Structure 1
Protein backbone atom coordinates (compact mmCIF):
# COMPACT_ATOMS: atom_id res chain seq x y z
CA UNK A 1 0.00 0.00 0.00
CA UNK A 2 1.38 3.39 -1.02
CA UNK A 3 1.71 6.18 1.58
CA UNK A 4 -0.76 8.25 -0.43
CA UNK A 5 -3.29 5.40 -0.18
CA UNK A 6 -2.96 5.44 3.62
CA UNK A 7 -3.45 9.21 3.75
CA UNK A 8 -6.44 8.95 1.41
CA UNK A 9 -7.97 6.20 3.57
CA UNK A 10 -7.42 8.23 6.77
CA UNK A 11 -8.97 11.26 5.10
CA UNK A 12 -12.05 9.25 4.09
CA UNK A 13 -12.35 7.87 7.64
CA UNK A 14 -12.68 11.46 8.84
CA UNK A 15 -14.74 12.85 5.97
CA UNK A 16 -17.45 10.16 5.82
CA UNK A 17 -18.77 10.60 9.37
CA UNK A 18 -18.42 14.39 9.14
CA UNK A 19 -20.43 14.30 5.92
CA UNK A 20 -23.05 12.07 7.57
CA UNK A 21 -23.37 14.56 10.44
CA UNK A 22 -23.64 17.51 8.07
CA UNK A 23 -26.30 15.72 6.01
CA UNK A 24 -28.47 15.44 9.14
CA UNK A 25 -27.73 18.93 10.51
CA UNK A 26 -27.60 20.80 7.19
CA UNK A 27 -28.98 24.26 6.76
CA UNK A 28 -29.06 27.24 9.03
CA UNK A 29 -32.07 26.25 11.16
CA UNK A 30 -31.59 22.74 12.55
CA UNK A 31 -28.96 23.54 15.17
CA UNK A 32 -30.78 26.67 16.39
CA UNK A 33 -33.96 24.57 16.78
CA UNK A 34 -32.02 21.94 18.74
CA UNK A 35 -30.49 24.67 20.92
CA UNK A 36 -33.96 26.12 21.60
CA UNK A 37 -35.18 22.67 22.66
CA UNK A 38 -32.21 22.09 25.00
CA UNK A 39 -34.08 24.28 27.47
CA UNK A 40 -37.03 21.90 27.56
CA UNK A 41 -40.20 20.81 25.79
CA UNK A 42 -41.80 23.55 23.72
CA UNK A 43 -44.80 24.20 21.54
CA UNK A 44 -44.43 25.25 17.90
CA UNK A 45 -45.04 28.95 18.60
CA UNK A 46 -42.47 29.01 21.40
CA UNK A 47 -39.82 27.56 19.09
CA UNK A 48 -40.78 30.06 16.36
CA UNK A 49 -40.31 32.98 18.78
CA UNK A 50 -36.92 31.74 20.00
CA UNK A 51 -35.51 30.89 16.56
CA UNK A 52 -35.84 34.39 15.17
CA UNK A 53 -36.18 34.77 11.42
CA UNK A 54 -37.55 31.30 10.66
CA UNK A 55 -40.88 31.08 8.86
CA UNK A 56 -43.62 28.75 10.11
CA UNK A 57 -43.34 26.72 6.93
CA UNK A 58 -39.57 26.26 7.33
CA UNK A 59 -39.91 25.46 11.03
CA UNK A 60 -42.50 22.81 10.24
CA UNK A 61 -40.23 21.25 7.59
CA UNK A 62 -37.15 21.30 9.83
CA UNK A 63 -39.03 19.79 12.79
CA UNK A 64 -40.23 16.98 10.51
CA UNK A 65 -36.66 16.35 9.29
CA UNK A 66 -35.35 16.33 12.86
CA UNK A 67 -38.12 13.93 13.87
CA UNK A 68 -37.34 11.58 10.95
CA UNK A 69 -33.67 11.56 12.00
CA UNK A 70 -34.54 10.71 15.61
CA UNK A 71 -33.41 14.02 17.09
CA UNK A 72 -36.80 15.49 18.04
CA UNK A 73 -39.86 13.82 19.52
CA UNK A 74 -43.30 15.23 18.65
CA UNK A 75 -46.06 14.57 21.17
CA UNK A 76 -49.77 15.14 20.57
CA UNK A 77 -51.48 15.66 23.93
CA UNK A 78 -55.06 14.48 24.35
CA UNK A 79 -56.50 17.86 25.31
CA UNK A 80 -58.96 20.30 23.90
CA UNK A 81 -57.74 22.15 22.00
CA UNK A 82 -55.10 19.65 20.94
CA UNK A 83 -51.66 20.52 22.27
CA UNK A 84 -48.56 19.49 20.29
CA UNK A 85 -45.12 19.70 21.89
CA UNK A 86 -41.58 19.03 20.74
CA UNK A 87 -38.63 17.84 22.78
CA UNK A 88 -35.16 16.49 22.25
CA UNK A 89 -34.60 12.75 22.17
CA UNK A 90 -31.81 11.13 24.20
CA UNK A 91 -29.89 10.73 20.92
CA UNK A 92 -30.00 14.46 20.17
CA UNK A 93 -28.52 15.20 23.59
CA UNK A 94 -25.27 13.60 22.33
CA UNK A 95 -24.84 16.80 20.28
CA UNK A 96 -24.12 18.76 23.47
CA UNK A 97 -20.33 18.73 23.04
CA UNK A 98 -20.65 19.62 19.36
CA UNK A 99 -22.89 22.59 20.12
CA UNK A 100 -20.63 23.77 22.95
CA UNK A 101 -17.59 23.54 20.65
CA UNK A 102 -19.41 25.51 17.96
CA UNK A 103 -20.44 28.13 20.54
CA UNK A 104 -16.84 28.55 21.73
CA UNK A 105 -15.49 28.69 18.18
CA UNK A 106 -18.16 31.20 17.20
CA UNK A 107 -17.16 33.49 20.07
CA UNK A 108 -13.48 33.16 19.14
CA UNK A 109 -14.25 33.82 15.48
CA UNK A 110 -16.32 36.90 16.32
CA UNK A 111 -13.43 38.27 18.43
CA UNK A 112 -10.98 37.57 15.61
CA UNK A 113 -13.15 39.35 13.05
CA UNK A 114 -13.69 42.32 15.36
CA UNK A 115 -9.93 42.67 15.94
CA UNK A 116 -9.24 42.67 12.21
CA UNK A 117 -12.03 45.08 11.25
Structure 2
Protein backbone atom coordinates (compact mmCIF):
# COMPACT_ATOMS: atom_id res chain seq x y z
CA UNK A 1 0.00 0.00 0.00
CA UNK A 2 2.86 2.33 0.75
CA UNK A 3 4.31 1.55 -2.69
CA UNK A 4 1.01 2.44 -4.34
CA UNK A 5 0.97 5.68 -2.43
CA UNK A 6 4.54 6.52 -3.46
CA UNK A 7 3.82 5.66 -7.08
CA UNK A 8 0.72 7.83 -6.98
CA UNK A 9 2.75 10.64 -5.45
CA UNK A 10 5.47 10.28 -8.10
CA UNK A 11 2.84 10.22 -10.83
CA UNK A 12 1.23 13.42 -9.50
CA UNK A 13 4.68 15.00 -9.14
CA UNK A 14 5.48 14.17 -12.78
CA UNK A 15 2.15 15.61 -13.95
CA UNK A 16 2.73 18.77 -11.95
CA UNK A 17 6.24 19.08 -13.38
CA UNK A 18 4.86 18.75 -16.93
CA UNK A 19 2.18 21.37 -16.28
CA UNK A 20 4.77 23.71 -14.76
CA UNK A 21 7.04 23.28 -17.79
CA UNK A 22 4.17 24.19 -20.12
CA UNK A 23 3.30 27.24 -18.00
CA UNK A 24 6.94 28.36 -18.01
CA UNK A 25 7.10 28.11 -21.81
CA UNK A 26 3.86 30.09 -22.10
CA UNK A 27 5.18 32.69 -19.67
CA UNK A 28 8.37 33.03 -21.72
CA UNK A 29 6.33 33.59 -24.87
CA UNK A 30 4.19 36.15 -23.04
CA UNK A 31 7.31 37.98 -21.86
CA UNK A 32 8.66 38.06 -25.41
CA UNK A 33 5.35 39.45 -26.71
CA UNK A 34 5.29 42.04 -23.93
CA UNK A 35 8.85 43.12 -24.71
CA UNK A 36 7.96 43.53 -28.38
CA UNK A 37 4.84 45.51 -27.45
CA UNK A 38 6.94 47.74 -25.18
CA UNK A 39 9.29 48.55 -28.05
CA UNK A 40 6.29 49.34 -30.25
CA UNK A 41 4.78 51.63 -27.59
CA UNK A 42 8.06 53.47 -27.16
CA UNK A 43 8.29 54.04 -30.90
CA UNK A 44 4.73 55.34 -31.03
CA UNK A 45 5.39 57.69 -28.11
CA UNK A 46 8.54 59.01 -29.76
CA UNK A 47 6.64 59.62 -33.03
CA UNK A 48 3.89 61.49 -31.20
CA UNK A 49 6.45 63.61 -29.36
CA UNK A 50 8.33 64.52 -32.53
CA UNK A 51 5.18 65.36 -34.49
CA UNK A 52 3.73 67.48 -31.69
CA UNK A 53 7.00 69.43 -31.33
CA UNK A 54 7.07 70.07 -35.07
CA UNK A 55 3.45 71.22 -35.26
CA UNK A 56 3.77 73.35 -32.12
CA UNK A 57 6.77 75.23 -33.55
CA UNK A 58 4.89 75.99 -36.76
CA UNK A 59 1.78 77.13 -34.88
CA UNK A 60 3.79 79.38 -32.55
CA UNK A 61 5.56 80.94 -35.54
CA UNK A 62 2.24 81.51 -37.32
CA UNK A 63 0.64 83.05 -34.23
CA UNK A 64 3.57 85.37 -33.57
CA UNK A 65 3.58 86.41 -37.24
CA UNK A 66 -0.14 87.12 -37.16
CA UNK A 67 0.23 89.09 -33.91
CA UNK A 68 3.11 91.10 -35.37
CA UNK A 69 1.08 91.86 -38.50
CA UNK A 70 -1.96 92.79 -36.43
CA UNK A 71 -0.11 95.07 -34.00
CA UNK A 72 2.43 96.69 -36.35
CA UNK A 73 0.49 96.49 -39.61
CA UNK A 74 3.12 94.81 -41.74
CA UNK A 75 0.48 92.99 -43.83
CA UNK A 76 1.59 89.43 -44.74
CA UNK A 77 5.34 89.83 -44.19
CA UNK A 78 5.44 89.14 -40.45
CA UNK A 79 3.31 86.05 -40.94
CA UNK A 80 5.42 84.78 -43.83
CA UNK A 81 8.77 85.35 -42.12
CA UNK A 82 7.78 83.99 -38.72
CA UNK A 83 5.92 81.03 -40.22
CA UNK A 84 9.08 80.04 -42.10
CA UNK A 85 11.14 80.64 -38.97
CA UNK A 86 8.73 78.40 -36.99
CA UNK A 87 9.05 75.71 -39.66
CA UNK A 88 12.85 75.84 -39.44
CA UNK A 89 12.71 75.75 -35.64
CA UNK A 90 10.38 72.73 -35.80
CA UNK A 91 12.70 70.86 -38.15
CA UNK A 92 15.68 71.67 -35.91
CA UNK A 93 13.80 70.45 -32.80
CA UNK A 94 12.88 67.19 -34.52
CA UNK A 95 16.45 66.64 -35.64
CA UNK A 96 17.73 67.33 -32.12
CA UNK A 97 15.22 64.98 -30.55
CA UNK A 98 16.05 62.27 -33.06
CA UNK A 99 19.74 62.65 -32.24
CA UNK A 100 20.85 63.75 -35.70
CA UNK A 101 21.95 67.23 -34.58
CA UNK A 102 23.68 67.88 -31.26
CA UNK A 103 22.10 70.12 -28.65
CA UNK A 104 23.79 73.52 -28.38
CA UNK A 105 24.74 73.06 -24.72
CA UNK A 106 26.35 69.65 -25.14
CA UNK A 107 29.95 70.86 -24.91
CA UNK A 108 32.29 68.04 -23.94
CA UNK A 109 35.49 70.04 -23.90
- State the TM-score, normalizing by the size of structure 2: 0.33
| Greater Rg by CA | 2
More helix by share: 2
- State the TM-score, normalizing by the size of structure 1: 0.31
More strand by share: 1
